[in-house]
Amino acid sequence: MKVVDFLSPDAIIPALTGSTKTQVLAEMSAFLAARQEGGGKVAMDPLALQKVLEERELLASTAIGDGIAIPHGKLDTVERLVGALGRSVPGLAFDSIDGKPTHLVFMLVAPSNSAGIHLKALARLSRLFRDANFRQRLLDADNAAAIYQTIVEEDNKY
């Protein structure tokens, strides 16, 4: 599985405006839902998505450290796995396990009946984000297109 299988070039926010977990989940939910309207890919209500993500965060923070968070959830209205990537160069409060600011937020939304693909995507993202050089290249990228290209290049290594 490749990241580009569930992340499209138009699903990247190069400069998140939110500075807290709640604000960023709302921002990214609205962003992803707006990009999916009329595209025939998935159907999602931004408020329903935000609620699912916030409920998941109550179990344990999805901020895994090293400036990375991977909020994820499932919706009945989603037909396939879809993701969005948000970047905050200055960092934001996301209740990270290492107590440090979060800079890269990769949101995943899967169909309710898709445990396998959901877990494979989480494993793939965790593997890629372990690389400090890759994380820095994402932070240094000039715009959404450059961020996406960096992901494509890293995706092709494995």
Least reliable range by pLDDT among 21-25, 38-42, 51-55, 72-76: 38-42
Domain that holds residue 22: 3-155
CATH number of the domain residue 78 falls in: 3.40.930.10
142: amino acid identity, one letter: D
Predicted model pTM: 0.92
Q: Which percentage of the chain shows pLDDT scores above 70?
A: 95
Could you read off the pLDDT of 147-157 as tens digits, one per residue? 999 999 999 88
CA contacts within 13 A on the Cβ side of 93? 4
Listing DSSP states for 49-98 in one string gives: HHHHHHHHHHHS--EEETTEE--EEEETT--S-EEEEEEEEEEEB---TT
| Domains held by the chain: number | 1
> Known catalytic residues?
72
Could you read off the pLDDT of 71-129 as tens digits, one per residue? 999 998 888 899 999 999 999 999 999 999 999 999 999 998 887 888 899 999 999 99
